[in-house]
Amino acid sequence: MTATTTGPILVTGCSSGIGLATADLLVKAGHIVYATARRPETLAALETAGAHTMALDVTSEESMEAAVKGIEAEHERVGVLVNNAGYGEYGTVEETDLDKVRTMFETNVFGLARLTQLVLPGMRAARAGRIVNIGSMGGRITFPVGGYYHATKYAVEAITDALRNEVRPFGISVSLVEPGLIRTGFEEVALTSAAATPDGDSPYAALLAASAASTSGGYANPALATGPERVASTILKAVESRHPRSRYVVTPAARALITARTVGGDRVWDAIVRQQFKH
């Protein structure tokens, strides 16, 4: 596909990280890009680069409807939806505040699902369209202290697999991008989650400290982590490829971990986890 045939591209979560890098690369590739974020003032650089910018809160029905209707008023349909908005609320299963977990699900899962519902009628009418969901290697592997975040990404895996086969007859393709460790500031948000902060009174204090050390070390290791530009280039492939793949795993380390989990089973995976989270 070319920039003239994809139609306008709606990207969520563009204030920083993967969303910012993706919107910028898509603009440079000649696409019509609608870069969105909850706080549109964070999108000034993308607007200067040539993107259309607008406020979009994926936890607000009114905000999502307004964004999609605005694009459809200009272009009849959203050509490509890149569901990128998301974050991590970390902590042990026992100690994490479930209200905060519900809020994370609203962003990572229900916002993605609802925005998809809103763009599909236009795509079906045109018998063309693409949806690119940004998942994670964390949708196929699970580390302690990240169980609820992983659950949101496992949900994205299931939704994407179902959707891909539901909309194929309408000429719509669906791809899932599964990044490994990407230096975006994600880890800072995750590590400062209230339930992820080591507390001497917590029965999990040693585990939380080991998790913080392992996470920080992983993101600081150039052999394990990379920048958001790597993910952006993968998303560009998913958008422009004549025959997009159903899944794109980003980083060799992510592929290795997914393979270890799939091939090795629980015994091998638990041994990896015990080694990595010694406490």
149 classed as catalytic: yes
Class of residue 91 by CB neighbours under 10 A (exposed 0-12, middle 13-18, buried 19+): buried
Please state the three-class secondary structure of the chain as a single string: CCHHHHCCEEECCCCCHHHHHHHHHHHHCCCCEEEEECCHHHHHHHHHHCCEEEECCCCCHHHHHHHHHHHHHHHCCCCEEEECCCCCCCCCCCCCCHHHHHHHHHHHHHHHHHHHHHHHHHHHHHCCEEEEEECCHHHCCCCCCCHHHHHHHHHHHHHHHHHHHHHHHHCEEEEEEEECEECCCHHHHHHCCHHHCCCCCCCCHHHHHHHHHHHHHHHHCCCCEECHHHHHHHHHHHHHCCCCCCEEEECHHHHHHHHHHHHHHHHHHHHHHHHHCCC
Choose the catalytic residue: 149, 204, 219, 248: 149
Distances (CA, A) of 86 to 104, 149, 158, 236, 252: 8, 10, 17, 19, 23
Catalytic center residues:
149
